[in-house]
Structure 1
Amino acid sequence: MFETIQGEGAHTGIPSIFVRLQGCPVGCPWCDTKHTWTLDDALVTTAQAVIAKNEESEHYFDVNENELLALFAAQGYVAKHVVITGGEPCMYDLIPLTELLHNRGYTTQIETSGTFEVRCDPRTYVTVSPKINMKGGMEVLVSALERANEIKHPIAMQKHIDELDILLEKVSSLDGKQVCLQPISQQARATELAVKTCISRNWRLSLQTHKYIGIE
C-alpha cells in the first residue's frame, strides 16, 4: 500500500493510493510484482511492517475494508483515487471495499488480468489488461471485457495485437471503452508499433510513466 501518481492508462498523472492485493495464479513471465503471487499464512505480517519495507518481499498484511481506510488516515494519504491491483485483485469480492470507498468520497479503479469475474461497485473504473496464453492456463473472460472501462494491452510485437483483435471480436461493443496499447519494457520497436497502431485505429497509447521518471 502506497501513495504515488498513476503512471499508466487513461488515469495517468492522477495522485493515487495503490492497494496491491496478494495472490495471483496467472503466471505472466514478465511480471514485475512476482512477490505478490503466493498466498501463505506464514507470510502474513503487520501492516506497519509492509508499509515500511523498502524492497520487494512476499510478506503481506490482512485487514478488512474499514481497517484499510483507517490505515489511509494513519499514513496521512491525501489522494482520493484508489487503485486496487495485485497480484490479481479480482480473485476477491471487491464490492464491500469499493462501495465503502465511493461512499467516503474516493474514486476507485481496478487493474485486472480479466481471468476472474469482476465484482465491484458500479462506479468503479475497471482496467482489464488481458493476459493471454500465460503459464497459469487461465482464459480471459468475456464478462470481464464487457465490464471494462479500459482495455489496456501490453505489446512487444504484431502477434500481441492480433491476439487482442481476437479478444475484441467477442465484445458486444467498444463504445465508451478506452483501448490502450502499452509497449512492454519501453522497447523501441514495441513503442513504434504501438504508436503506429494507435494512430491507425484511433486507440490510446499508454506509457509506463512512473518508470520513465523513476517513481514507484
Structure 2
Amino acid sequence: MNPITTHYPVNELFETIQGEGSFTGTPAIFLRLQGCPVGCPWCDTQHTWEKSAADQVDAARMLNKSSPSPEWAELTAAQLLELFQQQGFQARHVVITGGEPAMYDLRELGEVLEGAGYRLQIETSGTFELKVSAATWVTVSPKLDMPGGFLVRPDSMKRADEIKHPVAMQKHIDALDKLLQRCPPRDDTIIALQPISQRPRATELAIATCIARNWRLSVQLHKYLNIE
C-alpha cells in the first residue's frame, strides 16, 4: 500500500534574504503556508489566516500575485521542488512560514527537500505539535495570550533551536520569563529579542536586556533594506 502524499496550501513562494534570527543575511526561499487560528492582533500576514476553498488557485496564479491575498495553491513536496527549479531559485535555505506552518505535517516536505540538498527552517508560534524532520531548524516566536486561545506547548519550546521574542515594553520580557519557567528550552537554545517595528525605546530595552542576559538581538533586516 502506497503512503498518502501530503498536499500543502501555499500562499507565497519567493526568493529573498532571511531578515531575522540566527540566519539573518542568508539567501532563502520563503514558503508561506495558508491558515492560522492564533489571531495575533499585530500580524502583518492576516491574509493567510483563513483557508477557504473559494480562494484556491493554480500554482501559476499563486506565483504571479501582484499583492498579498488569501489565494493559495495546493502543492506536494515534489511539485514544490520542481517549482524551485523552474523559478531558477539559487538559495539552499528554505524558510517555512505562514500563517502557522506547524498546523501541517512537514516531514514529507523535509524528506524531499533535504534529499535534494536544501536546509529547512520553520517559523512557528509554538502552539502546535511540530511534525518536522530531525534536521529542520526550529524558530519559535511564542505567541502568548492571543485571541485564538492557544497555549505555547512545552514540547515545541524544548524542540526550539532558537526562541525569537518580539518586545516593545518590559511586560513582554516579563511574559517571556514566565514562559521560560513554565516551558524550559534546551540549554543550547538561542534566545533572541526582536524590537517591535524598530521603535527606539523597544530597541534600547532589547539591547540592554540582551547584554545583561547574554541573549541575542534580532533586528528585522529586511525592513531596513525595504525588501520582502
Alignment TM-score > 0.5, same fold: yes
CA distance in 1, matches of 2:193, 2:185: 18
Contact map agreement 1:21 1:87 (CA 8 A) in 2: yes
Contact map agreement 1:90 1:112 (CA 8 A) in 2: yes
CA distance in 2, matches of 1:110, 1:159: 26
Q: Which has the higher strand share?
A: 2
CA distance in 1, matches of 2:101, 2:180: 22
CA distance in 2, matches of 1:202, 1:54: 42
CA distance in 1, matches of 2:64, 2:71: 12
Task: Say whether residues 1:175 and 2:190 are aligned partners.
Answer: no
Matching residue of 1:113: 125
Unaligned 5+ runs, structure 1 = none
CA distance in 1, matches of 2:53, 2:15: 26
Matching residue of 1:36: 48
Task: Say whether residues 1:95 and 2:81 are aligned partners.
Answer: no
Out of 73, 81, 87, the position equivalent to 1:69 is 81
Give the match's secondary structure for 1:4. Answer: strand
Contact map agreement 1:99 1:120 (CA 8 A) in 2: no
User: Relative to structure 1, is the Cα distance of residues 167 and 43 closer, same or farther in structure 2, using a 3 angstrom cutoff?
Assistant: same
CA distance in 1, matches of 2:209, 2:66: 38
Matching residue of 1:199: 211
Deviations along 1:7-65, one digit per CA (max 9) or x if unpaired, are 00000000000000000000001100001101111100011111111211110110111
Residue 171 of structure 1 deviates from its aligned partner by: 3.7
Contact map agreement 2:153 2:183 (CA 8 A) in 1: no
Deviations along 1:112-148, one digit per CA (max 9) or x if unpaired, are 0000001100000000000000111110001100000
CA distance in 1, matches of 2:159, 2:183: 10
Task: Say whether residues 1:126 and 2:175 are aligned partners.
Answer: no
Matching residue of 1:162: 174
Residue 104 of structure 1 deviates from its aligned partner by: 1.0
Report the residue type matching 1:158 in the other structure: Q
Matching residue of 1:184: 196
Matching residue of 2:27: 15
The count of residues paired between Structure 1 and Structure 2 equals: 216
Deviations along 1:152-209, one digit per CA (max 9) or x if unpaired, are 0001100110110111113445421110000111111111100000000000000010
CA distance in 1, matches of 2:126, 2:185: 17
CA distance in 2, matches of 1:43, 1:6: 28
Deviations along 1:44-99, one digit per CA (max 9) or x if unpaired, are 00111111112111101101110011011110001000000000000000111012
CA distance in 2, matches of 1:50, 1:18: 14
CA distance in 1, matches of 2:148, 2:71: 22
CA distance in 1, matches of 2:200, 2:225: 17
Task: Say whether residues 1:84 and 2:96 are aligned partners.
Answer: yes
Matching residue of 1:139: 151
User: Relative to structure 1, is the Cα distance of residues 104 and 184 closer, same or farther in structure 2, using a 3 angstrom cutoff?
Assistant: same
